[in-house]
């Protein structure tokens, strides 16, 4: 095993630009790091995910999961430090992906290697997946081809234990109208006016609520009218985009039914999009939605994880839920409990201020090692 520092691995991963669908440079870097760290086997699957395993006798499989892709950096001039330089300044690693989620991946990878020297029984499965930010192709493929008894998702949580999040459903509502010259608007039917009435009713909806997660929310975020190049034409059609954040019981079918009730003449749809792995070997037609997920707080894995991390860090880490969507529901398809824990302030993700504190990186590595010891403990 070659010693690798969690901070330096984080910096190296940040330097490796990896937008969704073009993760291969970061994947190659993680692959080599896992080999250097002494993982028993390291490979890349058909989707482009990186997997590394350490096996110590018979026992359960603990999956450590993070995503390799990042959102774009945006306006480069608005960054305090260059987004792909991995600058270490003020006790923080700066750059795109520092907390979302190359820092967590580095902490998991290093923790797995260190835990291999502990008294454990079972399999550590380290996974760095692709395309989390744009549909979850990597995690969906992973869930279909691997198995685990417990999954830890390392999305930034400020070192709190997370039990889930609301889902996200992208809904398109299309409203018919009747074209007319804007100077004779009374001869037409304005599709935008119809959409505006819909938005007012949308904002007045009393939506379902769930413990820990709060209420579902429905937010109108975009609108397009047709013809698009007709500023003097009463639009004959308008399409509204709605960002719907749903609690588990608020399923896609219920959402569509609820929105259709606001305007029976509107076409309500959750569009499908084709996602393709970087080398084209895996293709998935996916709805533009990410499921809601909530692990019961009385699940045995919750108390095991909470106790292990709190003891390792010397404080009560607390329990909560993320306000954003993750790969957790895709990975839960394996039938295993999925818990979340990671370094970094989630409010910094996707911003030009993105960074992760060095202290949190080191604490996360300690915590992940403790989780491995707790879930792969040798039976007494």
* DSSP string covering 19-46: BTT--HHHHHHHHHHHHHTT-SEEEE-T
Instruction: Output the CA torsion 9→11→17→19 (10° steps).
Output: 80
Neighbours of 339 (CB within 10 A): 25
Place of tokens 């630009």: 17
Place of tokens 């639009």: 235
User: pLDDT higher for 184 or 3?
Assistant: 184
24-36 helix and 103-115 helix, angle to the nearest 10 degrees: 20
Token pair for 310: 């709190």
* Confidence (pLDDT) at 378: 84
Please give the average per-residue pLDDT across 207-218, as a whole number. Answer: 97
- 37 pLDDT tier (thresholds 50, 70, 90): very high
Residue 200 clears pLDDT 90, i.e. is over it: yes
Cis peptide before 145 (omega within 30 of 0): no
Residue 268 clears pLDDT 90, i.e. is over it: yes
* Closest CA relative to residue 255, chosen from 294, 207, 301: 207
Please give the average per-residue pLDDT across 153-174, as a whole number. Answer: 99
Please give the average per-residue pLDDT across 300-311, as a whole number. Answer: 99
Please give the average per-residue pLDDT across 365-372, as a whole number. Answer: 99
In a 13 Å sphere around the CA of 260, the CA atoms on its Cβ side amount to 10
Residue 174 clears pLDDT 90, i.e. is over it: yes
Please give the average per-residue pLDDT across 51-80, as a whole number. Answer: 97
Cβ neighbours of residue 94 under 8 Å, at least 6 residues apart? 14, 79, 80, 81, 85, 86, 87, 88, 354, 355
Separation of alpha carbons 304 and 311, rounded Å: 11
What is the tens place of the pLDDT at every residue in 343-355?
A: 999 999 999 999 9
Q: In whole numbers, what is the pLDDT of the chain averaged over residues?
A: 98
What is the tens place of the pLDDT at every residue in 68-83?
A: 999 999 999 999 999 9
Cβ neighbours of residue 145 under 8 Å, at least 6 residues apart? 45
Separation of alpha carbons 361 and 254, rounded Å: 41
54 in Cβ contact with 39 (< 8 Å): yes
Residue 379 clears pLDDT 90, i.e. is over it: no
Residue 217 clears pLDDT 70, i.e. is over it: yes
Separation of alpha carbons 330 and 365, rounded Å: 24
Helix (H, G, I), strand (E, B) or coil at 235: coil
Helix (H, G, I), strand (E, B) or coil at 367: helix
Token pair for 24: 């291969």
Let me know if 2 is exposed, middle or buried by CB neighbors in 10 A (0-12, 13-18, 19+).
Answer: exposed
User: With respect to CATH, is domain 6-165+292-375 assigned 3.20.20.70?
Assistant: no
What is the tens place of the pLDDT at every residue in 132-154?
A: 999 999 999 999 999 999 999 99
Please give the average per-residue pLDDT across 169-182, as a whole number. Answer: 98
CATH code at 167-276: 3.30.70.360
Sequence spans of domains, the chain? 6-165+292-375, 167-276
150 in Cβ contact with 62 (< 8 Å): yes
Residues listed for the chain? 380
Radius of gyration of the chain (CA): 23
For the whole model, what pTM was predicted? 0.95
Instruction: Give the long-range contacts of residues 307-310, CB within 8 A, separation 24 or more.
Output: 307/374, 308/367, 308/370, 308/371, 308/373, 308/374, 309/159, 309/161, 309/341, 309/367, 309/370, 309/371
What is the tens place of the pLDDT at every residue in 93-114?
A: 999 999 999 999 999 999 999 9
Starting at the earlier edge strand, list the strands of the sheet with 355-357.
Answer: 88-89, 92-94, 355-357
- 357 pLDDT tier (thresholds 50, 70, 90): very high
* Confidence (pLDDT) at 162: 99
296 in Cβ contact with 321 (< 8 Å): no
Topology agreement, domain 6-165+292-375 and domain 167-276: no
Cis peptide before 101 (omega within 30 of 0): yes
* Confidence (pLDDT) at 2: 78
Residue 369 forms beta bridges with which residues? none
* Confidence (pLDDT) at 380: 59
363 in Cβ contact with 320 (< 8 Å): no
């Amino acid at each position: 095993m070659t010693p690798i520092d969690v901070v330096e691995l984080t910096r190296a991963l940040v330097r490796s630009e990896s937008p969704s669908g073009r993760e291969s440079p970061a994947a190659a870097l993680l692959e080599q790091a896992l080999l250097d760290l002494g993982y028993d086997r390291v490979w890349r699957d058909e989707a482009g995910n990186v997997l590394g395993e350490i096996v110590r006798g018979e026992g359960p499989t603990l999956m450590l999961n993070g995503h390799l892709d990042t959102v774009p950096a945006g306006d480069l001039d608005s960054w305090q430090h260059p987004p792909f330089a991995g600058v270490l300044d003020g006790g923080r690693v700066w750059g795109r992906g520092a907390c979302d989620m190359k820092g967590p991946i580095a902490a998991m990878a290093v923790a797995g290697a260190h835990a291999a020297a502990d008294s454990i029984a079972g399999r550590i499965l380290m996974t760095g997946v692709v395309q989390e930010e744009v549909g979850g192709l990597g995690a969906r493929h992973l869930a279909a081809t691997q198995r685990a008894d417990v999954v830890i998702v390392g999305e930034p949580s400020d070192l709190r234990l997370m039990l889930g999040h609301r889902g996200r459903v992208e809904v398109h509502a299309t409203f018919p109208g009747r074209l007319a010259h804007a100077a004779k608007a009374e001869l037409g039917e304005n599709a935008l006016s119809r959409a505006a009435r819909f938005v007012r009713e949308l904002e007045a909806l009393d939506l379902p609520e769930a413990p820990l997660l709060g209420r579902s929310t429905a937010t109108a975020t975009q609108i397009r009218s047709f013809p698009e190049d007709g500023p003097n034409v009463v639009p004959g059609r308008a399409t509204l985009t709605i960002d719907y954040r749903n609690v588990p019981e608020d399923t896609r079918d219920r959402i569509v039914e609820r929105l259709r009730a606001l305007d029976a003449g509107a076409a309500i749809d959750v569009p499908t999009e084709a996602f393709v792995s970087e080398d084209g070997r895996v293709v998935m037609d996916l709805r533009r939605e990410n499921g809601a997920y909530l692990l019961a707080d009385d699940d045995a894995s919750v108390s095991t994880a909470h106790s292990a991390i709190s003891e390792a860090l010397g404080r009560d880490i607390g329990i909560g839920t993320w306000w954003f969507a993750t790969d957790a529901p895709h990975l839960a398809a394996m039938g295993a409990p999925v818990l979340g824990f990671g370094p970094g302030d989630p409010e910094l993700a996707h911003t030009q201020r993105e960074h992760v504190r060095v202290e949190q990186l080191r604490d996360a590595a300690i915590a992940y090692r403790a989780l491995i010891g707790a879930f792969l403990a040798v039976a007494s």
